[in-house]
Amino acid sequence: MRASRLFMPTLKEDPSDAEAASHKLLVRGGFVRQFASGIYIFLPLGWRVIERVNRIIREEMDAIGALELSMPTIHTADVWQQTGRYYDIGGEMFRLKDRSGRDMVLAMTHEEVFTWLASRELRSYRELPQIWYQIQLKFRDETRPKGGVLRVREFLMKDSYSFDADAEGLEVSYAKHIQAYDRIFERTGLRFHRVDSDPGMMGGAQAHEYMAPSPAGEDRVAVCSSCGYAGNIELARSVARAPEGSVSEVLEEVPTPGQRTIRQVSEFLELPASSLIKSLLVVTGEERVLALVRGDQELHQRKLERHLQREVRPAHPEEVEEATGAEIGFIGPLGVDVRIVADESLAPTGPGGARAYVTGANKAHTHLLGVMLGRDVDPEYADLREAQEGDSCVECGSALTVEPTIEVGNIFKLGTKYSVALGATVLDEDGVEIPLVMGSYGIGPARIAAAAVEQSHDEKGIVWPKSIAPFDVHLVQVHATDEEQTRVAAHLYEALGEEGWQVLWDDRDERPGVKFKDAELIGCPVRVTVGRRAAEGVVEVEPRGGDQSRREVSVDELPEVVSELWRLAD
RNA sequence: CGGGACGUGGCGCAGCCUGGUAGCGCAUCUGCUUUGGGAGCAGAGGGUCGGAGGUUCGAAUCCUCUCGUCCCGACCA
């Protein structure tokens, strides 16, 4: 591709509304433009990146026997009503009516329609397994689009669905997806973790997420570098550190005027936060539940919900006073008539052993010293706390790290929820009608691109992984009007193209500095510069990333040098 | 949905507090010069200040409403 013919609107300055590195660079580099909040245009360069990602996805999906097809993005409401999601999902779903007043929705995902198709077309266990996929638009009216292309309202997703006769079959389809996904993310050049993830409130089924570490990420994962255990913070288990300090085992009220937060109480009583217990009242339906975690830990609401099997919300201040007789900041587990759930690290069998802590006294401006769980109050125990950096791995005992990540893919064992709701059944070998056992698997190509930029850029611009760069080689002709340079550049453009490289030939009549800056911003893996020594048959070549420096080579040996640099790249 | 900020030529910004009908840099167009790191000089075009209403002799500037965008939080099948 000649740059003079390419629509490649680069910018010198960061767009004012961009925060994330990938957002700034993808806009500046002429890859994307924002159309509205959370709705993006992919320009030629950006689309080339997406297409390269998609190609990798297709190759690996095809390799596990998945079949590509294309589903509608405008759905009738009825299938969504049959699975109940029409009612369960709130404002996140775009809803509309057709001209005759029929309720329609824009596709947020495609379980319903894939299952609808399966219900019509699959009849026998002999036709199984089936894995169908598409690379198709999804629409979600996010409450808060952010991070450029990272969290948007309309986006491309590769989604696949597996249909099996039984749980064993699902295991196989799921394992195939793990294989394909591992390959896909390796090939895109991302650093990533496959982590245990929350299968949702329905419970039971298994799920994993593919997470690319990045400060721009919205999810956090706990990772053990030693044994490879990795889990989304929403469910990651860990062994808490032992609490510090000690508290007399004699129950004693102490006045703590105005000391409401853990930090205030900790400083006031001169005790470490891990010697305190944080008491949090939540409401679930009509029930009140008091959750206890150690002062140096955080309650994870999803974990509590999973334990209670219900959604919860923090109690309002009036509800706290009604249930405990005290204000927020002074409540505790003793003498309250509600269900009490404590984090397992507080159990007498936990890392602190049977020991005393400080809690609120359920009395204004008063705390209680010497509270022992098991002796003074007997709560149920569950894993309620967020895994923290410095906790130990439950598998091997090594230290866990916690890092922010971008979710680039996920895989779910759905079971029969959708097949039962939509009547997707086949006959088994005994002629008995059985519901299909399904899995659902997603990948966000644009998130892969954005995560790659997040993970691989410098102050000059993007450093694309070689597999998804918009072009392999950026051929910079320093002077567009120099005939010798044009001759050499044209020759190289052709020669490299014949060897299969995707080449961007910058033949624009721009000043050299402009071309160099653009080349660095756009970030193709190898740059070839045709400049002052072109007449002698000498050009320069250098990789965009890595520590290889610029070198001069003869035109004849250039293709070989490009291949060499390519092998060293990433 | 709660909190915060911002909306001024294509892009990035100043002007607003202390009202007097708009300015800078980049980009664009023309000419000349220049050509290995986002060129120089000269000239030109382009905005009515997100929108509506109000206050005022007069509003980019003050007030009200509204729309849009971003950030933090909540939310995220």
Instruction: Read off the CATH number of the domain in which A172 is found.
Output: 3.30.930.10
Residue A374 has, within 13 A of its CA and on its CB side, a CA count of 15
In a domain, A243, yes or no: no
How far is Cα A505 from Cα A566, in angstroms, rounded to an integer?
18
In a domain, A290, yes or no: yes
Q: What pLDDT, on a 0 to 100 scale, did the predictor assign at position A204?
A: 53
In a domain, A391, yes or no: no
State phi, psi for A448 to the nearest 5 degrees.
-60, -45
A214 CB and strand B closer than 7 A? no
In this structure, the answer to whether residues A267 and A302 fall within a common structural domain is: yes
pLDDT tens digit sequence for A395-436? 999 999 999 999 999 999 999 999 999 999 999 999 999 999
Q: What is the ipTM of this complex?
A: 0.94
Q: What pLDDT, on a 0 to 100 scale, did the predictor assign at position A474?
A: 98
Beta bridge partners of A138: A155
In this structure, the answer to whether residues A161 and A46 fall within a common structural domain is: yes
Q: How far is the CA of A134 from the C1' of B72 (A)?
A: 36
Return chain A residues 250..289 having CB < 7 Å to nucleic acid strand B. none
- Average pLDDT of chain A is 93
Q: CA angle at residue A40 from A505 to A142, to 5 degrees?
A: 150
3-state DSSP assignment of residue A551: strand
In a domain, A311, yes or no: yes
A358, A371 contact by CB (below 8 A)? yes
Polymer length in residues for chain A: 570
The number of distinct structural domains making up chain A is 3
pLDDT tens digit sequence for A16-29? 989 999 999 999 99
In eight-state DSSP terms, residue A250 is S
Q: CB neighbours of A274 closer than 8 A, spacing ≥ 6?
A: A241, A243, A244, A245, A294, A295, A296, A352
Q: What pLDDT, on a 0 to 100 scale, did the predictor assign at position A198?
A: 83
pLDDT tens digit sequence for A199-245? 765 445 789 999 999 999 999 999 998 998 999 998 898 999 999 98
In this structure, the answer to whether residues A374 and A447 fall within a common structural domain is: no
How far is Cα A269 from Cα A264, in angstroms, rounded to an integer?
9
In this structure, the answer to whether residues A105 and A189 fall within a common structural domain is: yes
Burial class (CB in 10 A: 0-12, 13-18, 19+), A517: middle
One-letter amino acid for residue A269 of the chain: L
Q: What is the DSSP string of A29-96?
A: TTSEEEEETTEEEEPHHHHHHHHHHHHHHHHHHHHTT-EE----SEEEHHHHHHHTHHHH--TTS-EE
In a domain, A282, yes or no: yes
Q: What pLDDT, on a 0 to 100 scale, did the predictor assign at position A201?
A: 55
In this structure, the answer to whether residues A160 and A209 fall within a common structural domain is: yes
In this structure, the answer to whether residues A272 and A209 fall within a common structural domain is: no
One-letter amino acid for residue A294 of the chain: R
Question: Per-residue confidence at A335, pLDDT binned at 50, 70, 90?
Answer: confident
Which comes out higher in pLDDT, residue A305 or A393?
A: A393
One-letter amino acid for residue A148 of the chain: G
Q: Which nucleotides of B are covered by protein (CB under 7 A)?
A: 1-2, 11-13, 25-26, 34-39, 68-77
Q: What pLDDT, on a 0 to 100 scale, did the predictor assign at position A203?
A: 47
Q: How far is the CA of A429 from the C1' of B11 (A)?
A: 67
β pairing state of A437-443 and A339-343: unpaired
Q: How far is the CA of A16 from the C1' of B57 (A)?
A: 39
Q: What pLDDT, on a 0 to 100 scale, did the predictor assign at position A485?
A: 96
Instruction: Read off the CATH number of the domain in which A369 is found.
Output: 3.90.960.10
Q: What pLDDT, on a 0 to 100 scale, did the predictor assign at position A217?
A: 93
In this structure, the answer to whether residues A414 and A338 fall within a common structural domain is: no
In a domain, A392, yes or no: no
Q: How far is the CA of A34 from the C1' of B71 (A)?
A: 17
Instruction: Read off the CATH number of the domain in which A513 is found.
Output: 3.40.50.800
A197, A232 contact by CB (below 8 A)? yes
Return chain A residues 481..500 having CB < 7 Å to nucleic acid strand B. 481
Domain boundary among A330, A347, A382: A382
pLDDT tens digit sequence for A58-71? 999 999 999 999 99
Nucleotide nearest to A23 in CA–C1' terms: B70
Domain enclosing residue A350, as ranges: 252-382
Domain boundary among A351, A382, A413: A382
Helices and strands, counts by H and E, chain A: 14, 31
Q: How far is the CA of A21 from the C1' of B47 (A)?
A: 31
pLDDT tens digit sequence for A127-167? 999 999 999 999 999 989 998 999 999 999 999 999 999 99
Q: What pLDDT, on a 0 to 100 scale, did the predictor assign at position A428?
A: 96
Return chain A residues 353..392 having CB < 7 Å to nucleic acid strand B. none
State the angle between helix axes of A445-455 and A44-63 in degrees (0 to 180), rounded to the nearest 10: 110
Nucleotide nearest to A145 in CA–C1' terms: B70
A531 CB and strand B closer than 7 A? yes
Q: What pLDDT, on a 0 to 100 scale, did the predictor assign at position A306?
A: 84
Strands (E), A140-251: 154-164, 193-196, 207-213, 219-224, 230-232
Q: How far is the CA of A9 from the C1' of B45 (A)?
A: 22
pLDDT tens digit sequence for A352-362? 889 999 999 99
In this structure, the answer to whether residues A449 and A476 fall within a common structural domain is: no
How far is Cα A245 from Cα A295, in angstroms, rounded to an integer?
12
Q: Helices (DSSP H) in A128-237: which residue ranges?
A: 167-187
pLDDT tens digit sequence for A161-192? 999 999 999 999 999 999 999 999 999 999 99
Question: Per-residue confidence at A100, pLDDT binned at 50, 70, 90?
Answer: very high
In this structure, the answer to whether residues A48 and A85 fall within a common structural domain is: yes
pLDDT tens digit sequence for A445-493? 999 999 999 999 999 999 999 999 999 999 999 999 999 999 999 999 9
β pairing state of A339-343 and A357-360: unpaired
Q: What pLDDT, on a 0 to 100 scale, did the predictor assign at position A183?
A: 98
Q: What is the DSSP string of A339-383?
A: EEEEEGGGSTTSTT-S--EEEE-SSTTEEEEEE-BTTTB--EEE-
Return chain A residues 134..153 having CB < 7 Å to nucleic acid strand B. 140, 142-147, 151
A552 CB and strand B closer than 7 A? no
The closest alpha carbon to A209, from A451, A480, A516, A434, belongs to: A451
Q: CB neighbours of A232 closer than 8 A, spacing ≥ 6?
A: A195, A196, A197, A198, A209, A211, A219, A220, A221
In this structure, the answer to whether residues A410 and A557 fall within a common structural domain is: no
Return chain A residues 104..123 having CB < 7 Å to nucleic acid strand B. 108-109
In a domain, A476, yes or no: yes
Q: Output the CA–CA distances (angstroms, integers) from residue A322 to A136, A281, A287, A315, A328, in the order listed.
A: 51, 11, 13, 10, 11
In this structure, the answer to whether residues A172 and A40 fall within a common structural domain is: yes
> For chain A, how big is the Rg over CA atoms in Å?
29
A13 CB and strand B closer than 7 A? yes
A139, A104 contact by CB (below 8 A)? no
Domain boundary among A453, A487, A513: A453
In a domain, A388, yes or no: no
**Taking the C1' atom of B76, which residue's CA lies nearest?**
A142
Looking at residues A437-444, what average pLDDT do you find?
96
Q: CA angle at residue A246 from A244 to A250, to 5 degrees?
A: 150
pLDDT tens digit sequence for A497-526? 999 999 999 999 999 999 999 999 999 999
Return chain A residues 30..69 having CB < 7 Å to nucleic acid strand B. 34, 36-38
pLDDT tens digit sequence for A467-476? 999 999 999 9
A520 CB and strand B closer than 7 A? yes
A540, A478 contact by CB (below 8 A)? no
A518 CB and strand B closer than 7 A? yes
pLDDT tens digit sequence for A265-314? 998 999 999 999 999 988 887 788 999 999 999 888 888 888 888 878 88
Q: How far is the CA of A505 from the C1' of B14 (A)?
A: 40
In eight-state DSSP terms, residue A2 is B
How far is Cα A484 from Cα A535, in angstroms, rounded to an integer?
6
Q: CB neighbours of A434 closer than 8 A, spacing ≥ 6?
A: A125, A165, A166, A425, A426, A427, A428
In this structure, the answer to whether residues A75 and A149 fall within a common structural domain is: yes
- Residues of chain A above pLDDT 90, percent: 80
A240, A391 contact by CB (below 8 A)? yes
